[in-house]
Every structure is written in structure tokens, then in C-alpha cells.
Amino acid sequence: MIRSLFAVTLCFLLLSLCCGEEVRVTGRTGGKCAVSLSPENALLLDKDTDWSIYQSMSLPRKYCISVFDGHGKKAAGYIGEQGAAEELGAEFLTNGGMENWKRDILMWALSRGKVSDETIILRPGTSGDHSVKCTITNGENPYGASNANMDQTLSVENAILYKMTTWMRNGNAESVYAKMQNTDTGNSVATPPYFSTDWEEITAYFVPYRSSLHEIWIYFFVTGEDGKYGYVDDMSFKEVIVPGKNVVKIYQERDSSNRGWETIDAGFDPYKISHYVIGE
């Protein structure tokens, strides 16, 4: 985090609610930063910010915040309570553990490439006996051999914070990654491309927004050429019932208990956050 003349100038030119400390989040928007614009559930999540230093012991709230998207549009409000110990709801995915191969693998749709049961290459510490190998196949891919993917369709609620965790491992592909996407609006959040041939658990957060169908797709992707492959195991998608310490509530005013953003610019894109500015 830096204090800069640029942040002050930017606030002045865009008539921002507050000016002060600028936090760039462009490099961690792959599910590490999320915004809910819902008045009753307004919040900001940033996994890499210590929100405890922005807590006010009493009203009026000390800190205001302006969140900017990549086009200079903003949502502005006041920083409220920090989350505590994160609590998650029930599992949404069927066979996210990739164990019930014969019975439940059809819950995963395969639009490109092919999948196969893997019983040798398993993530460390697993209690299961299976993972999935996903392979790009030119002959079976009508879109060309640029990627392979498997997905599952879930029914969700708008403006609610959800958490996805995925154990993934590259085989010999260009990269592997996971993705959450609204089925009707196309808005999506993808984890950063993963290149390592070691297993890693990747976490991402998502707030479905403006979806009339209340449905999302959960994807696992492998990118590269024909024959390239990657692995996935123990994929999970759950509602965040109680936000963790990486979340703060947002309020409309300094001295009231009304949740929500004080102002939201027309066209503000909550999936394309570039930075936010915190001031007093």
C-alpha cells in the first residue's frame, strides 16, 4: 500500500468520496478480491489486506472507501466491522472429491477433451483413492485443441459470497485453472493460471450478480495443445455463512447502521476491480 499524489489527484478528478491510501488489487483479482453491491449484504473482500487497522471502536465510522473498476467507475461507502472466523455452508458440488467415478461423474459435463479416472497421482494428505485426469483431444473437440474443460451447473443466490477451493496439478499442459461463471450474464472469476506439476490447493471467492437464472457454472480447465493434460481433485463450492477476517461490511453513512454503498456509478463492474482508496 502506498500514499501517493496520484491517488489524491485521481480522487479529485473523479469526485471520489474519499482520498488517501491507495491499494492496487489488479494482480490479485483471480478470486482474491470480491465485492457485493447488495444493500443488505454490502461487503468488500480482499485476502491480502489487514482490515483490523481500519476498525472504528464507535460511531461515527472513521474510514471511507472508494472502489474503482478498470474503467474508472466506482462504488463508495464507509468501512464497518471486520469478519471473524470464517464459517461455510453445505457443499454445492456433487462428486467434487472425484471419488464416485462410475456413479456421479456424469454430474460433470465435458464439453471439450476427455476425462479419465486417476488412482496413482493423488494429492498429498487425501483420504480418497481417486482424482481426475483431464486431457485435450483434437479429434473429440469441435472447437479445436486449445483446451479441455469439465463443468457443473449450480443454483445460487445473487449478491451472496461464495468460496471455491480446488486442488489442481499441471501435467504437461500450458496451464490449468478453475473458474466460476454466471450462466446468463457471462460474468466470471477465474483462478490465476497454474503451471506447477506439484499439487496445490487454490482458493477463490465469487459473488453472483444480476443473474436472472440464479445459476453458475463451475469449471476446471486445461489449456494447450492436443494431448496435453492436467489433474483435479477435491473441488469444493460453499456459501460463506460468516465472513472471515478478509472481509469488511460496507455502510451507507458514517453514523448509521444502514448497510450498503453510499454511491454506485452506473456501469460499475464488480468483477473488474483495479484498486480502492481508503481515507478518513
Query: Is the separation of the CB atoms in 272 and 71 below 8 Å?
Result: yes
CA distances from 48 to 44, 74, 158, 260, 278 (A): 12, 21, 25, 23, 15
Give the global pTM: 0.85
Listed in sequence order, the residues at least 6 apart from 4 whose beta carbon sits closer than 8 Å to its beta carbon are: 22
Mean pLDDT, contiguous 10-residue spans, the chain (280 residues): 36 44 56 87 89 87 91 95 95 90 68 87 91 82 68 91 97 96 89 96 90 87 93 96 94 92 94 88
- The pLDDT score that the predictor gives to residue 139 is 53
pLDDT at residue number 112: 81
Residue 150 identity (one-letter amino acid): M
Confidence at residue 173, expressed as pLDDT on a 0 to 100 scale: 95
Dump pLDDT digits (tens) for 179-220.
999 998 888 999 999 999 999 999 999 998 876 778 999 999
Which residues are registered as beta bridge partners of 116? Answer: 133
Domain ranges of the chain: 2-86+245-279, 87-241
Architecture (CATH level 2) of domain 87-241:
Sandwich (2.60)
Asked whether 77 and 64 are in contact (CB, 8 A), the reply is yes
pLDDT at 32: 82
The 3-class secondary structure across the chain, one letter per residue, is CEECHHHHHHHHHCCCCCCCEEEECHHHCCCCEEEECCHHHCEEEECCCCHHHHCCCCCCCCCEEEEEECCCCEEEEEEEEECECCEEEEECCCCCCCCCHHHHHHHCEEEECEEEEECCCCCCCCCCCCEEEEECCHHHCCCCCCEEEEEEEEECCCCCCEEEEEEEEECCCCEEEEEEEECCCCCEEECCCECCCCCEEEEEEECCCCCCCCEEEEEEEEECCCCCEEEEEEEEEEEEEECECCEEEEECCCCCCCECCCEECCCCCCCCEEEEEEEC
Question: What is the pLDDT at residue 113?
Answer: 86
- Sign for the CA dihedral angle at 210, 212, 216, 222 comes to negative
pLDDT at residue number 147: 85
The predicted pLDDT at position 125 comes to 92
